[in-house]
């Protein structure tokens, strides 16, 4: 899914990893279907609007747009609707604040961007927030810390679902120094 002022790498990094999985279909969604503009000024196309959610995994990116969306009840209702129609929910960076504001992290462990974690923890009431984690996998929820951590989290998700050999092949094909250890987080200090 995308929205105005989304962080470009929060979307592009995971899409790059997912695009290397055979027979995996990627669908880009936006609030009303037309393209949105990232924080970096890049236009991101969409296949459909949020109501057309299909598939089994929802990826919620972060970015400056999250600062207003956590208070947008129409957006949060759409996010809850999308979440109800998938098996797995993932977030990158401050996308976890959106999940928390929508009530989708209650009873889960989660993380967010280190520089925004104090802000993100203002949302939700029963969330076990982790400052020291590259990403957190708790049942059907995957949350990552900063922007590039979303790439590692996506590779770990691929390893979990399709096997570590596939994740390692993908990392090699995109020349990614893969980190499959969620506790190996060099940005904690």
Tell me the pLDDT tens digit for each residue of 93-140: 999 999 999 999 999 999 999 999 999 999 999 999 999 999 999 999
Query: Cα separation of 29 and 187, whole Å?
Result: 31
Average pLDDT over residues 68-74: 97
Which pTM does this prediction carry? 0.96
Contact predicate 134/152, CB 8 Å: yes
Short-list 175, 137, 170, CA closest to 155:
170
Query: Cα separation of 106 and 108, whole Å?
Result: 6
Query: Cα separation of 65 and 7, whole Å?
Result: 8
Average pLDDT over residues 22-39: 94
Give the pLDDT confidence of 156-187 residue by residue, as tens digits: 999 999 999 999 999 999 999 988 889 888 88
Query: Cα separation of 110 and 120, whole Å?
Result: 10
Determine the pLDDT at residue 186: 85
Determine the pLDDT at residue 26: 95
Percent of the chain with pLDDT over 90: 89
Q: What is the CATH number of domain 8-173?
A: 3.40.50.880
Contact predicate 29/2, CB 8 Å: yes
Sign of the dihedral defined by the CA atoms of residues 47, 63, 122, 117, in that order: positive
Tracing tokens 């960076």 back to the chain, one arrives at 93
Query: Cα separation of 44 and 10, whole Å?
Result: 12
Going by C-beta distance under 8 Å and a sequence separation of 6 or more, which residues neighbour residue 90?
14, 57, 58, 59, 60, 141, 142, 143, 144, 153, 154, 157
């Amino acid at each position: 899914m995308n929205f105005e002022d989304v962080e470009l790498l929060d979307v592009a990094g995971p899409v790059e990893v997912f695009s290397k999985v055979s027979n995996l279909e990627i669908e880009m969604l936006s609030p009303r279907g037309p393209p949105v503009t990232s924080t970096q000024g890049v236009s991101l196309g969409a296949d459909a609007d949020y109501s057309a959610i299909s598939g089994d995994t929802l990826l919620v990116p972060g970015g400056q747009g999250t600062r207003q969306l956590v208070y947008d009840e129409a957006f949060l209702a759409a996010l809850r609707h999308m979440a109800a129609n998938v098996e797995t929910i993932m977030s990158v960076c401050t996308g976890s604040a959106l999940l928390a504001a929508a009530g989708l992290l209650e009873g889960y462990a989660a993380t967010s961007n280190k520089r925004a974690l104090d802000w993100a923890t203002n949302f939700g009431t029963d969330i076990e927030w982790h400052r020291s984690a590259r990403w957190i996998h708790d049942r059907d929820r995957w949350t990552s810390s900063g922007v590039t951590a979303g790439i590692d989290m996506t590779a770990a998700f691929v390893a979990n679902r399709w096997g570590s050999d596939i994740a390692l092949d993908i990392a090699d094909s995109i020349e990614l120094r893969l980190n499959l250890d969620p506790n190996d987080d060099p940005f904690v200090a």
